[in-house]
Every structure is written in structure tokens, then in C-alpha cells.
Structure 1
């Protein structure tokens, strides 16, 4: 047990800091010289780390060797399934992107075959250890089955069917939840245990983090704020027709949904995500925060998304890396 804990501690340090020498590992872990020497040999024998150079041109010997992760030990794939396309990014276990692919969705695709083909294109002949697929719709936390998301060719058993096709572990996750994972790890919610993400793109939804954990709800329906009604209109319809509105009018509409999240959850932070939230930037976030302050007694920050690029893909890759590392590094 102690060996496993020490090995994972060393591997996590190499992930965080890059290649390290044995003396650096001793200093960072507080472990003894023999213990660090043993774990280095164990991890090298297991194909998890390798000598990655030396720490200084004038230094030689065992203490100067830099040890780094063997990135090619395993690969993962993150998938963002949209209603018009599928996008894939493949990463090695060290987190380095090694491939990417996109394919448009025809009107009636064989969705499993199309996604499997895109994963194969991005993997470049490698077999991914884990695939995490982000999609619209509700994903049941226990069964992995999904509700109809409006994606052409949809099937509720998409996750298990894709796993059978690829022969690897596949996890299906709601797209907004994955975007929230990305914000929590590398974006506007980094360092925060509690926050809510309001997603505004081709669909409207929310994701919830409380006590540092993603909260999906009993059936995967946590955060479905698009179904709320204000003035007899669904919130998704209120927000869906805002692209030509002035920022002030946009803020007047979305603050209603933000207030509902704050009144029930008191998250302390709400992130405005998706295409519309990102485009609104700090100005829209400030306008929403101003209006929210007049409605709610609970102090709440409002921020735009802090993740560059495709937040769903980023969250899918991060989740896949977590799953793969827990298996490969144990």
C-alpha cells in the first residue's frame, strides 16, 4: 500500500512539474534516498518513467539524471459530439496532444461507425486506453444510457455500443458537465470548490460543482435550467433568440436563470459559458452580476469562460486522462 502511494505521488509530481532528478524527488516528497531509489527502479521497470536527460551540462552521474513520464505508455481520446459534426482529440498519458480529427454528420449516420472512424483517424494507429464522449442530453449516472439529444442517428446505448466497436473503455458524459470540468481544472473556476456554469450555445443548460465534485443528480438531470419557465416561456427560448440583442437586454434575460441557480445552490461563482457566454466577455458578466446583486442576498461572482478553444473537448480529454491514469498508474 505504501509503495503504491509513493509511486503515485512521484508520478503526479512528474505530471505537474516535468522531468525531475532523484534529489528533487526526495526533496519534494520527503522520502528517503533508498525509498526514492527503489521507486525509480520500480517505475522504470514498469515502463512508466524513463531517463529524459541530465540536469546541467557539467553534471554527470545518477543524481544528475532527469526522470520523466513515458508519454506513449497509454493514450486517451476526448470526443465532442455535436448535432452537425464530431470532433476528436487524442492525447498521450502525459497530456500531450498527439492527434485530432473532425467529421461532419450526414442526415442519417451510423453514429457508432462514424465516431469510431473519427477516433481511429485521430489516434493514428494507436489504440486509446479510454475514450470520453461529450454529448447533449441526459446521461444516467448508473446505467450510462442517454436521452435523445437531437443528434442525427442517435441511440440511447451509444456509449456501450461504441465501447463494443472500439474494444476499449468508453464513458459518456453530458457536454456541459465536461465544459465545467475544464473550467474547474484550467479555467475561470480554477481553485474553486463551488460554482455553477450556465451554458449558452445551440442549447441551454447548466453544470454544478459543489465541494469540489461534479453533481449530476439522481438521473443525470442536474442543471437542466433550459426547462425553467419565465413569463410563460421556456428559459431556453428566452435565451435562444438573443444574438441581435444589446448586452443590457441579454443580461436582463439570462439573469433570471442565473438567479434560479444562485437561489437554490448558493455557488458563490457563476460562469457564463458556451459561444454566447464567451462572446459576451467581461462586459456581459458585469451586467449580469449587477442585476443579480439586486435580486439575491447571496454574494456571487459572475465570470465569462476562461478556457480557450473547445471546452467540451478539453473536459473530455481531462476526464479520460484521470480515468486512464488511475488504471495505468496503480
Structure 2
């Protein structure tokens, strides 16, 4: 069995300290020693290394009367990098920019305009949201199947002006900034996993009930996309001879009583519970939010009658735009892995 080299050990220790600063905020050297279990010399060395690398800085002192090296609080240099999440709607572009700690530093949006190349429009929104900060990575959420092999949409997008190569062209306009395209519901599932109703759950399905109907599958704490990006596309499934997406289209669902709505949602959820046994179904999108705990309880009751395996049903608890939040979280993962190691 191979043992860690000194360089690898240093990298592991550095990342451990940086993750603790992300999770807990500024810490003193003694606090880092306690939390990591590392020795005094090792912590002293990693603090100097991270300061020289521009990753951490002294942010204050701990305690009212304490002075000296042990009282210094070390925190992340928030401006070390900025990332952007983009939610590409059928009628608008929305963007959020955050620093490396995850704090939001800017937002912007713009309606889609006929005749304006999509990459040009997205670039303008990103530059407005960035407010002069250079971007380290961009993650874009859009409706449609995204092929995990080449990052392109497998099927045609409902977004006006979409074509192959939009993301690549955007990256070029931004000076080579890494830009990644992801299915919108997959990104919403990331937000549910990290900050929403699925926190603490390794396995769950997010059933997306909005202007489009779809789903995301999370198993083992990871979004599962399938061989061609089609995992979770429940909208194409026929239920009682009709496409599931048509049965829950906004114009139709708005006329349904609570019991009928819950029955239709449960029939789609039953397919996932029967095949995957995820243990948890989260109801997201506008319909899931508006239905709240009452709809979740009604779906749960009906699901117990339809599916062979038990599953909890919860309403989404992500506040605001879940797609944007998932895009920012994904971009932060990419950037932190590159910068923190």
C-alpha cells in the first residue's frame, strides 16, 4: 500500500483547514489544532503556506483580553475568486455571482431578445452581476437533456436562440472562463441536497412541478444523469395513456382539486419509488412550493397505496430560485477544487 508523500500530506492538511474555515468561519491556530488534530508545527506551517498563497488572512482577534499569535483569527480571502450561476429560462436570463465563501456579491437578469445572440445576452448579464470581478467559473442551468460526455443538449431546447456551441462561445467571450451546462432540475436537486428538504439524505428524487415537469435522481449523494443525460425525464412517461407532463401542465393542474392533483403527482412518483427505492421524494418547482406540506402529505398517502417500497414525501424548502442556487453551489465546487486542491 502506498503512503502519502510529504507534498500530498500537506495538500490534504491544507484542504482540511480550508474546508473548516468555509464551514465555521474565522478560526485561531489553537482552534485549528483542536479541530484537525494536527500538531502545533504542522498548523503553523499550513497557516503560513495558505497566507503566502493568498487563500487566508488575519481577520481579527479572539477574546477580549487576549493578544499574540494564538489570538489571531484566520479567515478565507473572500475575493480570491468569484463564480456565477445562470438560470436560462424560456423568456429570460438570470444570474447570481458569489465569492469563494459562497456570499452573494451581485445579481442581474434580462429578458430574451429576438436577434441578439444568446451568448452575447448571457455575457452582458454576467458582467452586470459580476460588477467588475473576474469570474473563475460559470455554471448554466437550462431545460433539456445535457449529454454528460460533451456538455451539449441532446434534445432541442425550448430556449429561443439556443444552438450547439452557445456555451463554448460564451466561454470564449469571457476570456476562456470554464463554463458548464447542466440540466436545470439537476441543479435544483443540488440545492435541495445542500440547503433544502433533502439535507442529510444520500438518496432522493426531486419531482419538478413547474412550467415544465421533470425530475432529478440523487443516489449516494450524487446527481445521476444516465448514459446520455436522460435520467429523471419523467415528463415523457405515459400514465394512464397520457404523457405525465401533460397531466400536470400548469393550465391543467390549476383546475384540479387537491385529491386529483395529489393522485397524479403520486403516480409519477410511484415510478421512481418502484424502480429506485430512494426513500424520499421532494416536490419542487412552483407547484411543489405552493402545495407545501399539505400537498406533500396528500401525495404521501396516495403513494403508499401505489408503490411497493416506503418513501417520505416532502415539499421543497429552498427559498428563492433553486436552479440558480444549485448552479452557484456547483460552480463553487469546481472553483474550490481548482484553487484549494
- The two structures share one fold, judged by TM-score above 0.5: yes
Q: Are residue 218 (structure 1) and residue 207 (structure 2) matched?
A: no
Match of 2:212 in 1: 203
Distance 2:211 2:166 in 1: 21
Please point out which of 283, 298, 302 is paired with 2:309: 298
Q: Is the 8 A contact 1:109 1:152 kept in 2?
A: no
How much has 1:223 moved relative to structure 2? 0.4
CA 260–108 in structure 1, closer or farther in 2 if over 3 Å, else same: farther
The 5 A counterparts of 1:101-250 are: 101-146=108-153, 147-166=155-174, 167-240=176-249, 241-250=252-261
| 1:108 CA drift (Å) | 4.2
Distance 2:156 2:65 in 1: 63
Q: Conserved in 2, the CA contact under 8 Å of 1:148 and 1:156?
A: no
Quote the residue 2:57 is aligned against: 50
1:254 maps onto 2:265 in alignment? yes
1-structure distance, mates of 2:20, 2:202? 22
- 1:255 Cα shift? 1.1
Shift of 1:67: 0.1
Cα contact 2:207–2:269 (8 A) shared by 1: yes
Task: Please give the residue correspondences for 1:26-41 in structure 2 after superposition, counting only pairs within 5 Å.
Answer: 26-41=33-48
Once structures 1 and 2 are overlaid, which stretch shifts more, 27-36 or 224-233?
224-233
CA distance in 2, matches of 1:160, 1:269: 36
* SS in structure 1 at match of 2:97: strand
Question: Does the C-alpha gap of structure 1 residues 103 and 163 become closer, same or farther in structure 2, counting only changes over 3 Å?
Answer: same
What SS class does the counterpart of residue 308 from structure 1 fall into?
coil
Q: Provide, for residues 146-166 of structure 1, a one-character-per-residue CA deviation record: whole Å limited to 9, x for no partner.
A: 132110101122221211121
SS at match of 1:8: helix
CA–CA distance in 2 between the matches of 1:97 and 1:230? 41
SS of corresponding position for 1:209: strand
Q: SS of the residue aligned with 2:26?
A: coil
SS in 2 for 1:102: strand
Partner residue in 2 for 1:94: 101
Q: Distance in 1 between matches of 2:38 and 2:189?
A: 36
Report the TM-score, using the length of structure 1 for normalisation. 0.99
Give the Å deviation of 1:122. Answer: 0.3
1:46-93 C-alpha deviation (Å, 9 max, x unpaired): 000000000012110000000000000000000000001010000000
> Which blocks of at least 5 consecutive residues in structure 1 are unaligned?
none
Task: Report if aligned partners of 2:267, 2:306 keep a CA contact under 8 Å in 1.
Answer: no
Once the 2 structures are TM-superposed, how far is the Cα of residue 21 of structure 1 from its aligned partner? 0.1
Q: CA deviation at 1:247?
A: 1.4
Give yes or no for contact 2:148–2:229 (8 Å, CA) kept in 1. Answer: yes
Deviates more, 1:112-121 or 1:142-151: 142-151
Contact map agreement 2:204 2:219 (CA 8 A) in 1: yes
Point out 4+ residue stretches in structure 1 off by more than 3 angstroms.
none
Q: Secondary structure at the match of 1:78?
A: strand
> What corresponds to 2:5 in structure 1?
none
